[in-house]
Amino acid sequence: MDREAITGRGKATPDRKEPGPRCVKVSDLLAGEREVLLEHDGQLYHLRLTANGKLILTK
């Protein structure tokens, strides 16, 4: 699914910055792993990909 399908906005191009949140692929975050640690405000969070392909975020 592309960004337009997710956000309802046009696709981003290098010469056009669109307002709003950026779209990050989970596959890019996980980089082939099943879990990644995210740091927010000095706290660590675990983002895990389950065997069913669902995401779980825990502290």
How many domains is the chain built from? 1
Range of the domain at 14: 3-58
> DSSP readout, the chain?
--HHHHHSSPPPBTTBPPSSPPP--HHHHHTT-SEEEEEETTEEEEEEE-TTS-EEEE-
Hey, what are 41's tokens? Answer: 């405000």
pLDDT means per 10 residues, the chain with 59 residues, are 55 63 93 97 98 97
Task: Give φ, ψ of 6 to 5 degrees.
Answer: -80, -45
Widest Cα–Cα separation across the chain: 39
| Global confidence as pTM | 0.65
* Distance separating the N- and C-terminal Cα atoms of the chain: 29
Q: What is the CATH number of the domain that holds 44?
A: 2.10.70.10
